[in-house]
Amino acid sequence: MTEAKLIPALNKENLSHFSKTYVPSRLLLGPGPSNAHPEVLDALSLNPIGHLDEAYISLMSDVQQLLRYTWQCNNRLTLPMSGTGSAAMEASIANFIEEGEKILIAKKGYFGDRLVDMATRYKAQVSFIEKPWGEAFTYEEIKYEIETKKPAIFAIVHAETSSGVLQPLDGIGDICRKNNCLFLVDAVTSLGALELLIDEWKIDLAYSCSQKGLSCPPGLSPFTMNKRAEEKLSSRKTKVPNWYLDLSLLNKYWGSDRIYHHTAPVNMNFAIREGLRLIANEGLENVWKRHNTNAKKLWKGLESLGMELHVSEDYRLPTLTTVKIPPAVDGDGFKNHLLRNFGIEIGNGLGELSGKVWRVGLMGFNSCEENVDRLLNLFDTELKKFSIFESSTF
């Protein structure tokens, strides 16, 4: 047996590079993540316990109860999936589509495109309808497409993070039920921040994330499904092709049996319980009002400075505002200036809006009047320094 050759240990000179972990202070006013609430960070830092410890199992039940309130639903299978929002997005496709089944996806931005990509990978029969980035679908357009195409699932993004559009959902659930179709909603940028009524709007499947409206770090993706979705899952002809995201297995862990499936990120569940508790203490209607009030203050302030917003106010997303970059302004230069000199992050445009807009997020703990005033002041005093032409105005 030959002696193993180990990689040489780092010497003192090399080790000096690795000081204690340090992260600069940032105010995250981009598309996410947002800053976590201090009380959430306190919960996150608690000592881990076992993922089958009776204390942890009790905490799991708290998380599910609080999630049902935040989702405004009574769905039995409501849980935070281990992984960021894209994990629950993929679970929604992997569990409920079998090869050759029809899915209709409404695309109006980057995340509608991602749903199409995922569904194609699971060999669904994919069709889609499309709107320009900045517009929403009408009820009549959706009704016609569902009645014509007869899909097994209709999927749409409620709050499109790439374009800043809030999609009205009223009435779509009724159309889906009349056509024996599951209604799937991406609520990544709306859960815990904007009005979202899972039961009342007859939404069968929905998913979100932890790092936006819930004021937590990234790492969990809240998910909920009703009895109609459970029936479709139980009637599959084939196994769910993704073991980690198989809801029939996760159901045994998050259901009454509490049978081990995977090692849960226990500290993240400490955190999400605290974030959901804070929402419940404030009250959902107060949370929704706070986000709408602060967004309107931001919109009014930006427009008074001569800025143009990308989305009509009728469909504008309160949690994520897309601001058009004036033609005479170095958009990246201004964005980088805010980060390097003031510790404030705003986002660049995504996809076809890259280089055309900034994305400004006011989500969860970060949605407050103080942050709006601070950002507006910087737009007022600093933006003029990034004019490409000295005499230009915007």
Helices (H), the chain: 12-15, 38-44, 54-71, 85-94, 110-121, 139-149, 172-178, 227-234, 247-254, 266-282, 284-304, 331-342, 369-382
Is position 18 within any domain?
A: no
Q: How many CB atoms lie within 10 A of CB 257?
A: 9
What's the confidence (pLDDT) of residue 199? 98
What's the confidence (pLDDT) of residue 389? 61
pLDDT for 393 beyond 60: no
CA–CA separation, 38 and 47 (whole Å): 17
Beginning with the edge strand found earlier in the chain, give each strand of the sheet holding 320-324 in spatial order: 320-324, 357-361, 347-348
Pairing of strands 153-157, 102-107: parallel
The CATH number that applies at residue 252 is 3.40.640.10
CA–CA separation, 322 and 310 (whole Å): 6
- Answer yes or no: are the C-beta atoms of 244 and 94 closer than 8 Å: no
| Residue 190 and residue 171 share a domain | yes
Q: What is the mean pLDDT of residues 246-262?
A: 89
Which of 281, 316, 338 terminates a domain? The answer is: 281
Is position 2 within any domain?
A: no
| Residue 367 and residue 235 share a domain | no
Q: How far is CA 169 from the centre of its chain?
A: 17
Helix, coil or strand: residue 254: helix
CA–CA separation, 116 and 103 (whole Å): 9
Q: Which domain holds residue 130?
A: 38-281
Q: How many CB atoms lie within 10 A of CB 230?
A: 17
pLDDT for 8 beyond 60: yes
pLDDT tens digits along 350-364: 999 999 999 999 999
- Answer yes or no: are the C-beta atoms of 199 and 251 closer than 8 Å: no
Q: How many CB atoms lie within 10 A of CB 297?
A: 15
Q: Would you state the structure tokens that stand for residue 58, as one six-digit string?
A: 């009790």
Q: What is the mean pLDDT of the chain?
A: 94
Q: What is the band of 391 on the pLDDT scale with cuts at 50, 70, 90?
A: very low
Nearest by Cα to 376 from 391, 390, 362: 362
Helix, coil or strand: residue 51: coil
Percent of residues, the chain, with pLDDT higher than 90: 89
Strand partners of residue 77 = 225
The CATH number that applies at residue 322 is 3.90.1150.10
pLDDT tens digits along 121-165: 999 999 999 999 999 999 999 999 999 999 999 999 999 999 999
- Secondary structure letter of residue 157 according to DSSP: E
Which of 281, 308, 333 terminates a domain? The answer is: 281
Q: Would you state the structure tokens that stand for residue 126, as one six-digit string?
A: 């994919």
Which of 251, 281, 311 terminates a domain? The answer is: 281
What's the confidence (pLDDT) of residue 357? 98
Residue type for position 143: K
CA–CA separation, 194 and 285 (whole Å): 9
| Residue 304 and residue 276 share a domain | no
Helix, coil or strand: residue 165: strand
Domain count, the chain: 2
Strand partners of residue 220 = 82
Q: What is the mean pLDDT of residues 48-73?
A: 95
Nearest by Cα to 100 from 242, 205, 236, 234: 236
| Residue 350 and residue 323 share a domain | yes
Which residues 6+ apart lie within 8 Å of 134 measured at CB? 163, 164, 165, 310, 311, 312, 322
| Residue 335 and residue 292 share a domain | yes
58 vs 8, higher pLDDT: 58
Q: What is the band of 387 on the pLDDT scale with cuts at 50, 70, 90?
A: confident
What length does the chain have?
394
End-to-end CA, the chain:
74
| Residue 162 and residue 53 share a domain | yes
Residue 164 phi/psi, 5-degree rounding, is 85, 30
What's the confidence (pLDDT) of residue 21? 87
Q: What is the mean pLDDT of residues 292-317?
A: 98
Give the CA radius of gyration of the chain. Answer: 23
What's the confidence (pLDDT) of residue 388? 76
pLDDT for 5 beyond 80: no
Percent of residues, the chain, with pLDDT higher than 70: 95
Q: Is the peptide bond before 33 cis (omega within 30 degrees of 0)?
A: yes
CA–CA separation, 216 and 386 (whole Å): 34
| Residue 164 and residue 263 share a domain | yes
Is position 11 within any domain?
A: no
Q: What is the band of 13 on the pLDDT scale with cuts at 50, 70, 90?
A: low
pLDDT for 1 beyond 70: no
| Residue 319 and residue 195 share a domain | no
| Residue 185 and residue 168 share a domain | yes
| Residue 236 and residue 88 share a domain | yes
Q: Would you state the structure tokens that stand for residue 8, as one six-digit string?
A: 């040489």
Which helix (H) or strand (E) segment is 85 a member of? helix 85-94
- Answer yes or no: are the C-beta atoms of 162 and 134 closer than 8 Å: no
Strand partners of residue 159 = 166
CA–CA separation, 323 and 201 (whole Å): 30
- The position carrying tokens 């309808």 is 129
What's the confidence (pLDDT) of residue 112? 95
